[in-house]
Amino acid sequence: MQNRILRPVVILSSIFLHLLSTGIAVATPGTILFSDDFERASLAPGWTSSVGTAAGINTDTANSPTRAMFTRHQAVIVTSSVIDLTVPGADLSFWVRRGSDTFSEDPDNLEDLVVEFLDSVGTWVNIATYPGNGTPGEIITDTIPLPFSALHANFQLRVRQTAGSGADFDYWHIDDVILTETAASRPPLALGNCDDFEQGLSNWTITSAGGNAGINTATFQSASSSMFTNGGTVTVSSNAMNTNTAQFSGVSMWIRRGADAFSEDPDGGEDLVVEYLNSALNWVALETFTGAGTQGQIFTRNYNLPVTAQHAAFQIRFRQLTGNAGIFDFWHVDDVCIEGTVPFPTFVIQKQVTLEDDPVNASNPKAIPLSNSIYRIRVVNAGFGSPDNNTLLISDDITAGIELFTGNFNGGAPFSFTDGTGADASGVSCNFISLADAGDCITFLDSASSPIIPNGSYDPAVRTIEFRPSGIMNPSTGSNTPFFDLEFRIRVTNP
């Protein structure tokens, strides 16, 4: 998610509202997070096989130096141990060789090799499929930018042979599996921005049933790359995004049918379907582009979407229905845009002072020395957007001539927090633990703006208070006013 720098509306100069940075981690590109060259006798401890006799390590063929993992004989799954991928970005690279009678035995049709990863919600996601009926002994080296859903602490990788013809047949060989940290990928696809496919496929997940997808420079709308699908059945799905606003209008994109002049044209039935995920979590077709059309034909589309597309888990996907294995039957996609205006919050800060008492007047108190007043700060979000989670900071200076009461003002806390009700609820909270707790909602600063622990009474050392509510403040819908109030006590000091 992109950080947003917002300029709130502020009333009364002594109160300041800030939006804190969400804190994106600094990448160390090039760090090897995991590697395996299989130069040992068995798969353990890094890998486990679903069928012990159908996978292992041997010297039939290898990339470096003499050994590689193999799968053979039948359907089998080889799964890695858990790998911590809590990094800004990562590439997966590996070497694959289809078996051959000259050193093992070649797989047949439908005896494919599938590469998958475990995503952050526990689903195995296909990122590459290599068909069994290809050239025997063919060597494939691949580097795949992993999508955002792969970047989590419980990442796992697996290779899966889909079928086999029995003992000593149908080999696949795998070597030099490497996960490399990369610099932060482009932000996820979101309302108000586009993907021009110049920085990898980190916003997309490829699910293959024999087809392929990737990025190349064969053709494009905006220089110098575009996404392609080809060679069979394959689906490319975007990351989920929040489009739950009336300011979301739809999606636009550039699509081109392949041509022999720069790739290869699809035939009848080798169609491309564009779909979106609606609020009922059903995929809805926007358009089907037929394979048997003019080679190289370009389509520019801007789809206006219904209100059912406005929800927190919107996705778009491209689905090639079929194709011939190999470098055949291409579709090209570029400049996918999520159209609409990003809704921003607009904060209004109001401060009210109410005289509570003074040492002289029993009624109608005056602002004289040793008088007490209640300060109330109201924070209103009048905008149609929300700030990022845990980024609100409200600060108020305790000016000369007054001092803050840091004792029990409300429920043991030196302040009170009152939320709006019903549709006006703010969605945030402001908890108090103790005067010494650095992690609760309130912080006390001295004249040098350094945090201090107050004395638990009227404290002249406190010159600024800061409130950091937790959560995401609700947006306005035009018919509501999300707000919360903060109250605390101030005393006028002796002249």
The enclosing domain of 215 has a CATH number of: 2.60.120.260
SS3 at position 405? strand
User: Are both 51 and 75 inside the same structural domain?
Assistant: yes
> Is residue 382 classed exposed, middle or buried when 0-12, 13-18 and 19+ CB atoms within 10 A define those classes?
middle
Torsion region of 326: left, alpha or beta (phi above 0 gives left; psi -120 to 50 gives alpha)? left
What does the mean pLDDT of the chain come to?
Answer: 90
Range in 153-157, 200-204, 263-267 the model is least confident about? 200-204
Looking at the fold, whether 110 and 17 belong to one and the same domain comes out as no
Q: Indicate whether 257 pLDDT > 70.
A: yes
Residue pLDDT, tens place only, 310-339 = 999 999 999 999 999 878 999 999 999 999
Distance, CA of 308 to CA of 51 (rounded, Å)? 46
> What's the confidence (pLDDT) of residue 79?
98
> Do both 54 and 81 map to the same domain?
yes
**What is residue 22's predicted lDDT score, i.e. its pLDDT?**
47
The C-alpha angle with vertex 403 and arms to 397 and 404, in degrees rounded to 5, equals 75
Domain contains 1: no
Residues 461-471: pLDDT tens digits?
999 999 999 99
pLDDT score recorded for residue 416: 98
User: Which of 291, 306, 341 is at the close of a domain?
Assistant: 341
pLDDT value of residue 126: 82
Q: Where is the domain boundary, 284, 307, 341?
A: 341
Question: Are 391 and 313 found together in one domain?
Answer: no
Range of the domain at 64: 29-183
In percent, the amount of the chain with pLDDT more than 70 equals: 94
Domain assignment present for residue 3? The answer is no
Q: What pLDDT, in 10s, does the model give residues 353-385?
A: 999 999 999 899 999 999 999 999 999 998 888
Backbone angles phi, psi at 459, to 5 degrees: -125, 110
Clarify whether residues 333 and 354 are in a common domain: no
Least confident of 141-145, 443-447, 473-477: 141-145
Q: Considering the domain boundaries, does residue 2 fall inside one?
A: no
Answer yes or no: do 168 and 218 share one domain: no
Confidence of residue 184 (pLDDT cuts 50, 70, 90): low
Number of independent structural domains in the chain: 3
Would residue 311 count as lying in a domain?
yes
Looking at the fold, whether 298 and 358 belong to one and the same domain comes out as no
Do 171 and 257 lie in one domain? The reply is: no
pLDDT of residue 225: 86
The answer to the question of residue 170 being in a domain is yes
Reply yes or no on whether the pLDDT at 394 is more than 50: yes
Residue 352 predicted with pLDDT over 50 = yes
Name residues whose C-beta falls within 8 Å of residue 95's C-beta, 6 or more positions apart in sequence. Answer: 63, 68, 139, 140, 141, 174, 175, 176
- Residue 387 shares a structural domain with residue 302: no
Pair (196, 277) in one structural domain? yes
Q: Are residues 325 and 201 in the same domain?
A: yes
Residue after which a domain boundary falls, among 316, 341, 366: 341
- Answer whether residue 4 is part of any domain: no
Is the backbone of residue 246 left (phi > 0), alpha (psi -120 to 50) or beta? alpha
The verdict on 262 and 382 lying in the same domain is no
Q: pTM score, two decimals?
A: 0.54
Give yes or no for a contact between 298 and 290, defined as CB atoms under 8 angstroms apart.
no
